[in-house]
């Protein structure tokens, strides 16, 4: 009987969180991208569908549903179908370990705000899943049987190899300070603004930020897509909702990366000041709501930052990207680990 309740609780959480991310975050991300790009280019942006054009992403998805779903004759049909599912599935499943607020006490039962936020290998799980995510793109490129798609897929995997390393190493600094892989524990160490990791780890933060741009295939590192040279790269041969899934996955990935950056460097769901200042009790629902809103706000700011960078910085050349990954970011990440180790050793 008990196991059924636990499963039911997890299921309800999963449904709520998936809807929140897929419908809300991804749709709002698409809308924000179109609006911000319009503002930067002195345009107005979508404003016809719904108030301020807020329903535009739903209209877009509806259009994609109506489109004919083409599969090229020479494509490997199985993998062609699986690839977008892998990409979107991975992008969403990372949310399994993300804590949205502090634990809430109702009666004598403690509820965790997240599907499995206390997983003791949380950050390792995230890294593993995002690495699997590249399979979706590479498979999409390979199974399309199109030279441009293949090049896009290859670029994606090459890019992944050169950035995963420095990304992982940049994380080590945070893990050394927190002494744990659990996301909940990393967050609970950063309870006020002057204990946020970004203050102790400025170099590590910049490295992680740059790497996560590469990880999410966003400009300036969107080489797998590279419209002008690769006609859309890995998603050239995709249409209809399969293309829509890649599209949504990009924005879900962006939200995921932002969430991870917030959790690791900007105190996660912790308010920037001690919770007593608001007069809220530890473990109360009101505090959890405040923390949740705070967390979402931080994510929104970072998503805006992602979009803002996309419409400012041009794409890197392929060799520049490799140079940056191997010759600059990797040594700097190692240096960051060394500096953190020395810092901890001196302060102990």
Partner 1 sequence: MNIRKNSEAERLSFWEKLYLPEIAKGMGITFRQMFKPKFTRQYPEEVWIPTGSYRGRPVLVNEDDGERCVACGLCSRVCPALAIEVQAAETDRDKERYPEKFEINMLRCIYCGFCEEVCPEEAIVMSKDYDLVFTSQEEAILGKDKLLVHISKLQDRLEFLRQYK
Is residue 107 within 8 A of residue 284, CB to CB? The reply is no
CA dihedral 83, 88, 90, 91 (to 10 degrees): 140
Q: Does 42 bind partner 1 (CB under 8 A)?
A: yes
Tell me: does residue 308 bind partner 1 (CB under 8 A). Answer: yes
Question: For residue 113, what are the β-bridge partners?
Answer: 101
Tokens representing 271? 């308010």
Distance in Å, CB of 311 to partner 1, minimum: 6
Shortest spacing between CB 309 and partner 1, in angstroms: 7
In 3D space, the residue among 68, 73, 47 whose CA is nearest the CA of residue 144 turns out to be 73
User: How many amino acids of this chain bind partner 1 (CB under 8 A)?
Assistant: 13
Q: Does 39 bind partner 1 (CB under 8 A)?
A: yes
Could you say whether residue 44 binds partner 1 (CB under 8 A)? yes
Q: Does 58 bind partner 1 (CB under 8 A)?
A: no
Nearer to partner 1, 75 or 330 (CB): 330
Tell me which of 40, 124, 176, 322 binds partner 1, using CB under 8 A.
Answer: 40
Measured distance CA(199)–CA(246) in Å, rounded? 35
By CB under 8 A, residue 52 contacts partner 1? no
Q: What is the DSSP string of 245-276?
A: HHHHHHHHHHHHHHHHHHHHHS-TTS-SS-GG
Q: Which two tokens stand for residue 270?
A: 């912790």
- Least distance in Å: CB of 165 to partner 1? 19
Question: Which residues, 6 or more positions from 4, have their beta carbon under 8 angstroms from its beta carbon?
Answer: none
Q: Which is nearer to partner 1, 46 or 99 (CB)?
A: 46
Tokens in use for 324? 């940056």
Can you say how many angstroms the Cα of residue 60 is from the centroid of all Cα atoms in its chain?
22
Is 51 among the residues that bind partner 1 (CB under 8 A)?
no
Q: Which of 3, 4, 5, 41 binds partner 1 (CB under 8 A)?
A: 41
Nearer to partner 1, 166 or 190 (CB): 166
Contacts of 245 (CB under 8 A, 6+ apart): 84, 85, 87, 88
**193-252 positions binding partner 1, by CB under 8 A:** 206
Residues 7-36 that bind partner 1 (CB under 8 A): 36
Q: Could you tell me the smallest distance in angstroms from the CB atom of residue 72 to partner 1?
A: 36
Site membership for partner 1, residue 313 (CB under 8 A): yes
Q: Quote the least distance from Cβ 336 to partner 1, whole Å.
A: 15
d(CA 131, CA 117): 20
Binding status of residue 346 toward partner 1 by CB under 8 A: no
Residues that bind partner 1 (CB under 8 A): 36, 39-44, 206, 308-309, 311-313
């Amino acid at each position: 009987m008990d196991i059924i309740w636990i499963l039911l609780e997890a299921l309800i959480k999963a449904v709520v969180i998936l809807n929140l991310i897929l419908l809300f975050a991804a749709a709002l991300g698409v809308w924000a991208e179109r609006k911000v790009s319009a503002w930067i280019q002195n345009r107005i942006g979508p404003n016809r569908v719904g108030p301020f054009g807020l329903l535009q992403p739903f209209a877009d998805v509806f259009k994609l549903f109506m489109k004919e779903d083409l599969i090229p004759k020479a494509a490997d049909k199985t993998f062609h179908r699986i690839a977008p599912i892998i990409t979107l599935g991975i992008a969403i499943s990372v949310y399994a370990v993300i804590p949205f607020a502090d634990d809430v006490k109702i009666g004598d039962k403690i509820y965790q705000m997240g599907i499995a936020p206390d997983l003791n290998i949380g950050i390792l799980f995230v890294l593993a899943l995002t690495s699997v995510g590249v399979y979706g793109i590479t498979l999409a490129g390979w199974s399309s049987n199109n030279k441009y798609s293949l090049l896009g897929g290859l670029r994606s995997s090459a890019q992944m190899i050169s950035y995963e390393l420095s990304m992982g190493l940049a994380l080590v600094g945070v893990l050394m300070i927190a002494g744990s892989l659990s996301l909940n524990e990393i967050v609970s160490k950063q309870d006020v603004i002057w204990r946020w990791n970004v203050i102790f780890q400025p170099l590590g933060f910049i490295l992680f930020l740059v790497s996560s741009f590469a990880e999410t295939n966003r400009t300036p590192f969107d080489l797998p897509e590279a419209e002008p040279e690769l006609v859309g790269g890995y998603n050239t041969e995709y249409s209809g909702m399969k293309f829509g899934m890649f599209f949504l996955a990009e924005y879900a990935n962006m939200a995921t990366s932002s969430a991870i950056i917030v959790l690791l460097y900007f105190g996660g769901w912790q308010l920037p000041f001690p919770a007593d200042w608001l007069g809220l009790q530890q473990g109360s629902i009101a505090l959890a709501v405040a923390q949740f809103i705070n967390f979402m706000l931080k994510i929104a700011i970072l998503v805006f930052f992602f979009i803002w960078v996309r419409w400012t910085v041009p794409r890197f050349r392929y060799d520049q990207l490799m140079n940056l990954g191997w010759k600059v970011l990797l040594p700097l990440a190692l240096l960051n680990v060394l500096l953190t180790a020395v810092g901890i050793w001196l302060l102990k």
